[in-house]
Amino acid sequence: MKIVFLAPFGIRPKGTVIARMLPLAVELQGLGHEVVIVAPPYTNPEDSGKTEMVRGVRLANVLLGPKHKALAAPVLAWRMLRAALAERPDLIHLFKPKGYGGIAGMLLISLQRLGVRMPPLFLDTDDWEGEGGMNDLHDYSGAEKRFYRFQEQWITQHAVGVTTASRELERLVTEMGIPGGRMLYLPNCVGAAPVVDGAAARARLGIAPAAPVVLLYTRFFEFTQEKLHYLFAELFKQMPQVRFLVVGKGRHGEEDLLAKAARESGFDKALAMAGWVAPESIPDLLAAGNVAIYPFAQSLVNRTKCPAKLTEILLAGTPVVGDRVGQLAEYIDDGRSGVLCDPHNWRQMADETLALLRSPERQRQMGENGRLYLQENFSWKDAALRLDAFYRKSAGASSR
C-alpha cells in the first residue's frame, strides 16, 4: 500500500515525528508498504518546500504560507491535503486531531461527505487535547481552545479508524461512541537499544565516575515543582554524595525555580542541568544515571500520555522509580523492571530511590530487566504488524 502520514508539525526541533511517526513508517516500509510523511514545517521554516529522506522515509515539507496564524491555517492545510493526495495514497493517517494537519483531515472528510472519492482517513491520538488536556497547558486563546476541542471530537468520530497511544485515550475514545473494532491500541514502542557511553557524558559534565547519580529527564509540567524540590532535598540530606542530572527544558522557567530551591536547600553543588539536548546526545546522558526518577502527577494529561521519554530511559538500561499513573504501569513490571510508587506519597519515591542507589547489583539487574521487558512487550516491529492488519481490516470495511 501507499500510505501518507500527516504530521502535526515539523521534524525539528520537536520530537513527535522522530519518536512516533518515523519508526512506524520505517517498519511499515519493511513490510513492503511505501510511506510518505507530509509535514507543515512551521517549527523549522528553513525547510519550507524541501523534500528529504530520513531513515529511508521520504519527508515532504510543504511550502509555508502567510505568517499570520489565522491566514496561514487554511493555506497550509490545503497545501498539506494537496501534497498528500498528489501521492495517490491508498490511505492517509493523520497524527494528532488538531492544528494544520487536523484542518487538512477535516477538509478530506468534508469532501468525502460531499461524494468526492477520497482515500480513507485514519487518526492517531497520543494526547488528550480538550478539557483537562493539552488545552490547559498552552497559552491558546479561547477561540483556539474551542476549535481544538471541536477538531478532536469531530475528526475522531468521522475517521475510518483511530489508533490510541494509551489505555486512557482508548477509554475516552470509547466514550465518544467509537466501537472497539474501529480502534487500535498503539503505544509508543522501541527498537534496538542504542550504544551508550554514560561515563563520557559524566566526564563532560564534571561528574565523578563513582558518584551516585539520580537522573531526571523531563519537560517539568508532568508534576508539581514542590514535589521535585522535596525529592532532591530529601535525597541529598540522606546521601550527601549524590549528584542530580537534569536533562530537558521547561516551558516557564522551571529550571530557575529548581536552581533557587537548590541554593536554599544546599544541594546546588550537586545539581547538573544539561538543558535541551540534541536527540543524538540523549542516550549517553540517560546512561549516566544510576537511578532515574519519573514523577508523574495523577492528572488527565498524564493519564492519556504515552511518555516516549520513559521508554528512552528504560532502553538505555537505567532503572526507573516512577509514579503509578497511566502508561507507567504498562511500561514497568513493578519490582522487577522498575519501581512504581503512589503519586501522592512523596516519601515513598524518595525511600525507593535511596534503596536502589544503595544497591548497585539491584540497579544493574533492574536496568537490564527494564530494557528487556520493553523490547519484548513494546516492539515497533510488532506494532507495525498490528497496524498493517488494522489498516487492511478497517479500510476494507469502509469501502463496502
Which tens digits make up the pLDDT trace of 346-363? 999 999 999 999 999 999
Cα–Cα dist 226/261, whole Å: 9
Residue from 388, 323, 196 nearest 331 by CA = 323
Residue from 198, 195, 205, 200 nearest 289 by CA = 198
Domains, in order of start, for the chain: 2-189+379-399 (3.40.50.2000), 198-377 (3.40.50.2000)
pLDDT at 140 over 90: no
Cα–Cα dist 55/35, whole Å: 12
Cα–Cα dist 78/48, whole Å: 15
pLDDT at 16: 65
Mean per-residue pLDDT for 33-57?
A: 94
Mean per-residue pLDDT for 298-313?
A: 95
DSSP letters spanning 178-242: --GGGEEE----B-SPPP--HHHHHHHHT--TTS-EEEEE--STTS-HHHHHHHHHHHHHH-TT-
pLDDT at 274: 93
Cα–Cα dist 355/143, whole Å: 49
Lowest mean pLDDT of 32-41, 78-87, 129-138, 152-161, name the range.
129-138
Tell me the pLDDT band of 133, cut-offs 50, 70 and 90.
confident
Q: Are 286 and 317 in contact (CB under 8 A)?
A: no
pLDDT at 73: 86
Lowest mean pLDDT of 12-26, 99-113, 277-291, name the range.
12-26
The x, y and z cell numbers of residue 393, run together, are: 481490516
Cα–Cα dist 259/261, whole Å: 5
Q: Are 386 and 186 in contact (CB under 8 A)?
A: yes
Q: Is the four-CA dihedral 142, 146, 149, 151 of positive or negative sign?
A: negative
Tell me the pLDDT band of 285, cut-offs 50, 70 and 90.
very high
Q: Are 287 and 205 in contact (CB under 8 A)?
A: no
DSSP letter for 133, please.
Answer: T
Residue 274's SS3 state is strand
Indicate the pTM of the whole model: 0.92
In the chain, beta strands by DSSP E:
2-6, 34-39, 51-54, 57-61, 91-95, 121-125, 161-164, 183-185, 213-217, 243-247, 271-275, 291-294, 320-323, 339-341
Q: To 5 degrees, how large is the angle CA 399–CA 119–CA 14? A: 135
